[in-house]
């Protein structure tokens, strides 16, 4: 417009009609330019749309090829068989998260931390593996206390047996044992609340509590006259000595191993050093021992197996097998030995019992069939004092026998009757001592 004005000033003889004509031409030019700009804009939109459509089509075709067997489901293609987390579309998750926080009637009671933690638990629950669990800071601290051997609660190891919450073993002299809980008891209710479909970590949180408080457990016991019983347990401070030693009659060394904690192998080695050199036999009592660290079981085997014997075989998710060998001096590997096991002997206990049974001809297993936990968990510490336990392998005995949910059968089966319990008799230990005469 400025250039047009200058030209009009130079042409003083231009008539008004010419000015009007020029003005009309200018307006027409503007209109034409405007139309061109609008056309360019729509062309750009069409190009962008075509690019997006092509990208979507290519992605869709790729998704169809990769997911042809499941392309009729309502699951977003981005979530199908994706192993790279960078390819996962998490928008659905965050949509629900936002809607819940925005619309839920009691949204003020929800914390972001609680929502995230329970989201993780839900993800792990899809494995249907009771031993693959997430632990928040409180649960993580309690787990560490359990392994270290000092905590408040009832003093019983819990597990899942055919989907039912079950007592693996009450710890020796614990409130659980004193109240009458036994290995194999199925817990149907906790304080009158059903345990159906409960996870182990939730069950533990309900049963655990402060010293002096009570918890009522409704249990099912096959051997009892009245199959269902209510047992009230007064919680206490649980201090677990992972291994103890004493000499029994006929010069037999008796080791009671109640769990495989951080220092169990070291303590066991020291006690082996205290054993008389002329000991006639050895009893290793693994009854009601729920397990612990795999490495500790392997270290302990070094005292009772010659160096180089296979202790356990791990089979990973790709069915690759890895052997672990005894790496000690085998200080008592030449002494006749009896291993005591029962329904409460699980995990690391079964590893040690299986290793001795498969490698040594002079070892006898006495008692009842063991629990049957043949899986290995890896404890992974995460941010903000949380952790996750993931089942990373199954383990086999040196003879490659799978014991998960099967257990290990004793060579000599000896049970404990109600009368034995009530009168503090131990026919299993009696049989062990008899075999070592």
Catalytic site positions? 347, 373, 377
Q: For residues 181 and 217, give the distance between their C-alpha atoms in angstroms, rounded to a whole number.
A: 9
Q: How far apart are CA 195 and CA 175, in angstroms?
A: 21
CA distance 234 to 154: 7
- The overall longest dimension of the chain from CA atoms, in Å, is 139
Contact 140, 120 (CB under 8 A): no
Backbone φ and ψ for 87, nearest 5 degrees, come out as -95, -10
Distance of CA 158 to the CA centre of its chain: 14
- Helix, strand, coil fractions of the chain, as percent rounded to 5: 40, 25, 35
Task: Say if strands 375-381 and 321-325 run parallel, antiparallel, or are unpaired.
Answer: unpaired
Task: Give backbone dihedrals phi and psi of 183, rounded to 5 degrees, phi first.
Answer: -60, 135
Q: How far apart are CA 363 and CA 410, in angstroms?
A: 11
Are 412 and 365 in contact by the 8 Å Cβ rule? The answer is yes
Distance separating alpha carbons of residues 60 and 55, to the nearest angstrom: 8
Report how far residue 263's alpha carbon sits from residue 199's, in angstroms, rounded to the nearest whole number: 29
Selection from 355, 350, 363 nearest residue 324 by Cα = 355
Q: To which H or E segment does residue 187 belong?
A: strand 186-190
**The two three-digit tokens of residue 324, written as one number:** 């672990």
Beta carbons of 187 and 219 less than 8 angstroms apart: yes
**Calpha distance 236→108 (Å, rounded):** 35
Q: How far apart are CA 54 and CA 62, in angstroms?
A: 12
């Amino acid at each position: 417009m400025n250039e047009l004005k200058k030209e009009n000033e130079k042409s003083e003889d231009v008539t008004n009609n010419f000015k009007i004509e020029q003005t009309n031409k200018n307006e027409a030019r503007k209109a034409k330019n405007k139309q061109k700009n609008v056309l360019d804009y729509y062309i750009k939109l069409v190009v962008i749309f075509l690019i997006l459509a092509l990208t979507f089509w290519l992605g869709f075709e790729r998704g169809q090829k990769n997911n042809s067997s499941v392309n009729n489901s309502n699951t977003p293609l981005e979530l199908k068989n994706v192993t790279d987390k960078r390819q996962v579309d998490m928008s659905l998750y965050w949509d629900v998260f936002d809607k819940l926080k925005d619309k839920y009637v009691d949204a003020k009671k929800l914390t972001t931390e609680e929502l995230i933690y329970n989201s993780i638990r839900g993800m792990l629950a899809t494995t249907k593996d009771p031993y693959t669990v997430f632990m928040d800071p409180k649960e993580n601290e309690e787990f560490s206390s359990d392994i270290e051997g000092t905590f408040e609660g009832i003093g019983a190891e819990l597990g899942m047996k055919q989907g039912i919450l079950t007592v693996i073993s009450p710890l020796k002299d614990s409130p659980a044992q004193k109240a009458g809980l036994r290995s194999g008891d199925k817990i149907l209710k906790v304080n009158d609340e059903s345990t159906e479909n409960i996870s182990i970590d939730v069950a533990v949180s309900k049963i655990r509590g402060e010293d002096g408080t009570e918890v009522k457990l409704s249990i099912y016991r096959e051997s009892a006259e009245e199959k269902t019983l209510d047992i009230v347990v007064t919680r206490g401070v649980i201090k677990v000595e992972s291994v103890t030693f004493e000499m029994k009659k006929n010069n037999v060394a008796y080791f009671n191993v109640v769990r495989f904690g951080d220092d169990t192998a070291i303590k066991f080695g020291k006690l082996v050093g205290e054993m008389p050199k002329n000991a006639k036999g050895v009893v290793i009592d693994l009854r009601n021992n729920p397990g612990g660290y795999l490495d500790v079981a392997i270290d302990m085997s070094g005292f009772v197996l010659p160096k180089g014997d296979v202790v356990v075989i791990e089979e990973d998710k790709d069915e690759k097998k890895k052997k672990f060998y005894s790496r000690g001096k085998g200080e008592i590997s030449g002494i006749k030995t009896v291993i005591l096991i029962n329904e409460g002997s699980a995990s690391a206990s079964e590893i040690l019992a299986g290793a001795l049974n498969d490698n040594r001809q002079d070892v006898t297993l006495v008692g009842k069939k063991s629990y049957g936990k043949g899986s290995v968990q890896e404890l992974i510490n995460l941010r903000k004092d949380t952790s996750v336990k993931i089942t990373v392998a199954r383990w086999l005995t040196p003879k490659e026998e799978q014991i998960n949910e099967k257990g290990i059968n004793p060579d000599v089966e000896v049970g404990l009757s109600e009368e034995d319990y009530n009168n503090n008799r131990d026919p299993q230990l009696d049989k062990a001592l008899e075999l070592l005469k």
